[in-house]
Structures are given as C-alpha cells and as structure tokens.
Amino acid sequence: MVLDRAGEPLREMTREEALPGDGEIAIDVTACAVCRTDLQLCDGDLPARAMPIVPGHQIVGRVARVGANVTSWRAGDRACVGWLAGACGACVQCKRGRENLCEAARFTGWDRDGGYATHAIVRADFALRTPDAFDDVDAAPLLCGGVIGYRSLVRSGIAPGGKLGLYGFGASATIAIQIARHWGCRVFVCTRSKEEQARAKTLGAEWSGGYGDLPPEPLDAAVTFAPSGDVVIAALRALDRGGTVAINAIHLDRVPQFSYDLLWWERNVVSVANYTREDARALLELAAKIPIRTTYETHPLAGANVALSRLRDGEVRGAAVLVP
C-alpha cells in the first residue's frame, strides 16, 4: 500500500520482490500496526522525506532471506522492526548511546519503505527479536506505541510508587499504564472520551477525567500523547514542584503561550524523540515479563485506508493492526 502524495488515499500496487542488500534482511510481513505518525504522514502533518513511500513502522514477520554479511539472522527467524531503521554509529550522539538523536538516523516508513506490505527489507542490525511470549499480531503494537511510551516514562523521571499523569489514552498510553502499574505507580488519566476514561480505570488508573479536569493530587510526572500544545499546558498545570511533562509526539499543533508560574519551581517540559535499540530490547523484555496485554483490531492489508480513517476519527480502541 503506497502513499504517492499526502492527502490522497494509499494505493494498492504489486511490485517485483526486492532482494536484501549488504547487511540487510528481507522479512515476510505477518502483522504491521498502524501508528498515529503514519496518519500524520498520510495527511501531510508530518512532511514526507521520500515519496512514493510504503508507510508502517511496527512490523512483525519471519526472515525470508538474508543479505551478504549478515550472520545474526537465518531464514525462518521471527523478527520485528520499529521506527528506527538505522543510525550512523559514528557520530557524537551515537557514541554517547543516543542513536535516537543521530542526525543521519533513518526511519522505517518515512525514509525507507515500511510494513504496509507483504515484504519489507530492513537493516539486520536494527531488526529485533520478537519475544516468544507474544504472537505476531500481539507484538506489533508494542513496537512504536510500546517502545516510545516506555522511553517517555523514562524521560518523565517517574519513580516506582510515584504519581503519574497520562494525557490521552490511545494505543501507547494503554501500554504505558501497564508498565507504570507494574512499577507500582499511582496513575491518573486525562482524556476526552468518556469511554476511554472508563477503560483507563479498568487498566488500573486511580482516577480519570477530561483534559480540563485537574487530578486530585499534584503529579510527580506526566506523559502527553495528544498532538496538542493545550494538552501539554494542562499537564504542566497538574504537576507538583520539580515534576516533568514528557511530550510523546513527533508533531504538535503549536505551543501556546503560558504563564512562567507554571514552569517555576523547577518543573520541566521535555520532548521524546524516537528510541534506541536498547530501549526497544528493554521494552520487549519488560512486556514479556509483566506481561503486557495489547488491545487491537485487525484489518486486511488492502484495508489500510479504512484503518487510517478509523484512527483519524478516533474510532480505534487500542491499536489497528494490518494483517497481509
């Protein structure tokens, strides 16, 4: 399923099967979860970096072929890959263990073709092992929503037993709350939909309300998932002194002007950009241990446009997963 131009529906097409190059593997895709970032790319909110492009960066499948100089994978291995398609390995950021900030980093379904397809070619050293605890469809929503949700929790500085706010309650927050509860955190959820407020409570939120509601106690940390600057300010308003808001969004509509009083007393606002392979491996291990339960609806690959429009309309509960 190919995006030719932002604002147009994806087009179904057949291509000759490509072969993996040096250091690459070809994956037969068995599941690819749909991320909000895919929607932002298709709608033009996120500027395209390559076009035409096959979107999709939560890919699970089996290794079909290995390219030259690949020793760590064999045909038939279960493999998955997320948003980070590659990094240079040589720059200051890569050397500091922050490959998520590498200026030469490449992204799946943005710089190179992704998983809205029957096959995908990925860098062998950026592919991940799918944990045995998960079948392919269950694992797919972990790869972006889960991994970046995990990095957001780390960036928020939330400590075990701390008071955490989650602003927005889509696929990523559904996973983040399970990690936070595993860490013994008290969780407060703000989200627009009453249905999601109720669902948050069934997943262990102590309290839930709308974006305009203030949680009953000041928060140690908050993670915002909505692509809205107003929601960031709402989260900032709910923080205790010294608390942090981590923004889990690649695209934000705007940052509204706000009173310095909201930031004073060493409150922090931080962004969360991508993830490192170390984050991904840590999340997949933790997900198997907890174990995290993903909720999703499945769509056939050719139904990718339906899945995207359901996500746009806020109709997807949990994640949408494409199954070729």
Q: Which is nearer to Zn ion, 87 or 221 (CB)?
A: 87
In a 13 Å sphere around the CA of 59, the CA atoms on its Cβ side amount to 35
Please, are residues 121 and 70 in contact by the beta-carbon 8 Å criterion? no
User: Does residue 133 belong to the site contacting Zn ion (CB under 5 A)?
Assistant: no
Rounded Cα gap, residues 14 and 31, in angstroms: 18
Evaluate the CA torsion angle 234, 238, 241, 242 in order and state its sign: negative
User: Does residue 91 belong to the site contacting Zn ion (CB under 5 A)?
Assistant: yes
Considering only residues 16-35, where is the footprint of Zn ion by CB under 5 A? 35
Among 34, 79, 144, 283, indicate the residue that binds Zn ion (CB under 5 A). 144
x-marked contacts with Zn ion along 255-294 as a string, rule CB under 5 A? ----------------------------------------
Q: Which of 81, 76, 78 is nearest to 59 (CA)?
A: 81
Q: Which is nearer to Zn ion, 102 or 319 (CB)?
A: 102
Among 48, 88, 288, 323, indicate the residue that binds Zn ion (CB under 5 A). 88
Q: Of 66-74, 93-101, 131-139, 281-289, which segment contacts Zn ion by CB under 5 A?
A: 93-101
C-alpha distances out from residue 204 to 10, 60, 146, 282, Å: 37, 28, 17, 22
Considering only residues 196-255, where is the footprint of Zn ion by CB under 5 A? none
Considering only residues 36-75, where is the footprint of Zn ion by CB under 5 A? 37
Q: Which is nearer to Zn ion, 143 or 239 (CB)?
A: 143
User: Does residue 176 belong to the site contacting Zn ion (CB under 5 A)?
Assistant: no
Minimum distance from residue 59 beta carbon to Zn ion (Å): 11
Q: Which is nearer to Zn ion, 6 or 263 (CB)?
A: 6
Residues 6+ apart with CB under 8 A from 252: 227, 228, 229, 232
Give the binding-site size for Zn ion (rule: CB under 5 A): 8
- Cα 67 to chain centroid distance, Å, stands at 28
Among 54, 60, 85, 102, indicate the residue that binds Zn ion (CB under 5 A). 102
Residues 6+ apart with CB under 8 A from 240: 163, 218, 219, 220
- Tokens representing residue 62 in the block: 């089996």
Q: What is the β-pairing status of strands 84-86 and 296-300?
A: unpaired
Among 81, 84, 94, 247, indicate the residue that binds Zn ion (CB under 5 A). 94
Interface ranges with Zn ion (CB under 5 A): 35, 37, 87-88, 91, 94, 102, 144
